[in-house]
Amino acid sequence: MSAHRTLYRQARLATMQPGSAWGLIDDGALLVEGDTLLWVGPEAELPAELARSAPRDVKLDGALVTPGLIDCHTHLVYGGHRATEFELRLQGASYDQIARAGGGIRSTVSATRVATDGQLFNSAADRAAALMNEGVTVIEVKSGYGLSAEHEARCLRVARRLGRELPLTVRTTSLAAHALPHEFAGRPDDYIEAACAWLPQLHAEGLVDAVDAFCDEIGFTPAQTRRMFEAAARLGLPVKLHAEQLSNQHGAALAAEFNALSCDHLEHLDGDGVAAMAHAGTVAVLLPGAFYFLRETRLPPIAALRAAGVPIAIASDHNPGSAPGLSLLLMLNMACTFFRLTPEEALRGVTVHAARALGLQHSHGQLKAGLQADFVVWDLAAPNELAYWFGRNPCQRVLRAGIEILGPDA
Ligand code: DI6
Ligand code: FE
């Protein structure tokens, strides 16, 4: 007997391992030791001495089990909201018109700067809880609403605190190159120089896992983005990019030059960008919530991404301007309805490919021996139901690092 082992059995495992649809194992078992999956496979093949070694035995009655879900692109830490801007857009104003008039991201920057650390933490923790309720065990959180050395650091510290105080893995991304703060009006190159200079200190404080930028007409130019990436590379930090969201700036090819973990949005991505991403092994993160909420009509080039073998991830992009939703399950449904992903591709997009978009593919994203014991038990029989229902939460039980954080034993 090994006191810290638990056996979960009579499960339908969507392991998401490659080689078969969903990596499906009917009548499967999971043996958890501490925070790790010790054994995963068909229950009939579980060695008897391993079965006997677990003092706790949990029967799951045929329920579906998937890896913990991973939301690999969020802007969770911010002050205020932008419901009035939503009304303006409904009356005909466009997202970029509002941004150019000084609203948009910059109005959230003002609301973030006046919020206390406690307010920022509490609002972000509530939002994280909503994601976690649907089986999310890993999130990425970007800065980008502080836009000064002090306020960027504050937002990243709040993100780190979420990871310490909630049963949740949090990866942080510095997105100082999100918008031009008013104190640098007309001086974007000076702002980028300043933002590059903050990075070593933020990194020294352990606040940055990756560096991102918004490369667009209302964001930063490819040349400015390159300077940000060079500053990241000097510190050995991986990069990601908000690329080709509203226009084609050839940002994906630039990011691929830096072996980016991911390029995100991609509605305006062209064939050269697809090829560059495939060559670099960069993940395409699609954000159907932003596509929906901005009422976009131009689709990312899904067929070309598939044909080139670019891994596709799906994320919420939760932010107050273009994607205020907090349901990763709804994103699965929208990835299928809007982008015509298959339900299996959509689930790979919030598990195995999302892990890769965060550089966590060796510890997260699949049900596989040796990986962290993050998994979700669903009140569902078939994995395609995950992308089918919406507005219903079938999440029954969540284990994160081997500990039940939601469910009968939580
Ligand atoms: N693209 C987006 O969709 C978010 N950031 C970005 O660069 C939107 C951020 C916002 O509108 O507050
Ligand atoms: Fe975003």
pLDDT tens-digit readout, 270-314: 999 999 999 999 999 999 999 999 999 999 999 999 999 999 999
Whole-number Å distance, alpha carbon 241 to ligand 2 midpoint, is 9
Whether ligand 1 lies within 6 angstroms of the CB of 179 is answered as: no
> How many whole angstroms separate alpha carbon 327 and alpha carbon 253?
31
Query: What is the token pair recorded at 340?
Result: 């015509």
> How many whole angstroms separate alpha carbon 192 and alpha carbon 196?
6
Backbone φ/ψ region at 80: left (φ over 0), alpha (ψ -120 to 50), beta: left
Residue-level length of the chain? 410
- State what percent of residues in the chain have pLDDT above 70: 100
Position 101 scores a pLDDT of 86
pLDDT tens-digit readout, 39-57: 999 999 999 999 999 999 9
- DSSP reduced 3-state for 96: helix
pLDDT tens-digit readout, 170-222: 999 999 999 999 999 999 999 999 999 999 999 999 999 999 999 999 999 99
Burial 17-46 (b: 16+ CB within 10 A, else e): beeeebbbbeebbbbbbeeebbbbbebeeb
- DSSP reduced 3-state for 408: coil
The answer to whether the predicted template modeling score (pTM) of the entire model surpasses 0.95 is yes
Whether ligand 1 lies within 6 angstroms of the CB of 98 is answered as: no
Whether ligand 1 lies within 6 angstroms of the CB of 242 is answered as: yes
Backbone φ/ψ region at 102: left (φ over 0), alpha (ψ -120 to 50), beta: left
H/E stretch holding 396 reads: strand 395-400
Whether ligand 1 lies within 6 angstroms of the CB of 290 is answered as: yes
Of 73, 74, 75, which is best to mutate to test ligand 1, by the most ligand atoms within 8 angstroms of its C-beta?
Answer: 75
Whether ligand 1 lies within 6 angstroms of the CB of 285 is answered as: no
Number of the ligand 1 atom closest to the C-alpha atom of 245? 1
Q: Classify residue 269 by its DSSP letter.
A: -
DSSP line for 161-188: HHHHHSSSEEEEEEEEETS--GGGTT-H
User: Which residue in 369, 375, 286 sits closest to 33, CA to CA?
Assistant: 369
Number of the ligand 1 atom closest to the C-alpha atom of 179? 7
Residues measured by CB to lie within 5 Å of ligand 2, the ion: 317
Number of the ligand 1 atom closest to the C-alpha atom of 145? 12
Number of the ligand 1 atom closest to the C-alpha atom of 214? 7
Q: What is the pLDDT along the chain (410 residues), one digit of tens a residue?
A: 676 899 999 999 999 999 999 999 999 999 999 999 999 999 999 999 999 999 999 999 999 999 999 999 999 999 999 999 999 999 999 999 998 888 899 999 999 999 999 999 999 999 999 999 999 999 999 999 999 999 999 999 999 999 999 999 999 999 999 999 999 999 999 999 999 999 999 999 999 999 999 999 999 999 999 999 999 999 999 999 999 999 999 999 999 999 999 999 999 999 999 999 999 999 999 999 999 999 999 999 999 999 999 999 999 999 999 999 999 999 999 999 999 999 999 999 999 999 999 999 999 999 999 999 999 999 999 999 999 999 999 999 999 999 999 999 89
Distances (CA, A) of 39 to 50, 163, 399: 9, 27, 15
Whether ligand 1 lies within 6 angstroms of the CB of 246 is answered as: no
User: Which residue in 80, 3, 4, 11 sits closest to 402, CA to CA?
Assistant: 4
Whole-number Å distance, alpha carbon 73 to ligand 2 midpoint, is 6
Whether ligand 1 lies within 6 angstroms of the CB of 317 is answered as: yes
Distances (CA, A) of 250 to 70, 222, 247: 27, 8, 9
Whether ligand 1 lies within 6 angstroms of the CB of 74 is answered as: no
Whole-number Å distance, alpha carbon 81 to ligand 1 midpoint, is 13
Question: Are 124 and 162 a contacting pair, CB within 8 Å?
Answer: yes
Of 98, 108, 127, 178, which is best to mutate to test ligand 1, by the most ligand atoms within 8 angstroms of its C-beta?
Answer: 178
| Strand ranges inside 34-168, DSSP E | 36-42, 56-59, 64-67, 69-71, 136-142
- Bridge partners of 31, per DSSP, are 7, 39
Number of the ligand 1 atom closest to the C-alpha atom of 175? 7
Query: What is the token pair recorded at 194?
Result: 């300043």
Question: Are 294 and 268 a contacting pair, CB within 8 Å?
Answer: no
Q: How many CA atoms lie within 13 A of 224 on its CB side?
A: 25
For 236, counting Cβ atoms within 10 Å of its Cβ (0-12 exposed, 13-18 middle, 19+ buried), the class is: exposed
Q: Residue 372 carries which side chain, given as an amino acid letter?
A: Q
Query: What is the token pair recorded at 339?
Result: 């982008």
Of 112, 228, 319, which is best to mutate to test ligand 1, by the most ligand atoms within 8 angstroms of its C-beta?
Answer: 319
CATH numbers and ranges of domains, the chain? 5-67+366-406 (2.30.40.10), 69-357 (3.20.20.140)
Whether ligand 1 lies within 6 angstroms of the CB of 225 is answered as: no
> How many whole angstroms separate alpha carbon 140 and alpha carbon 170?
6
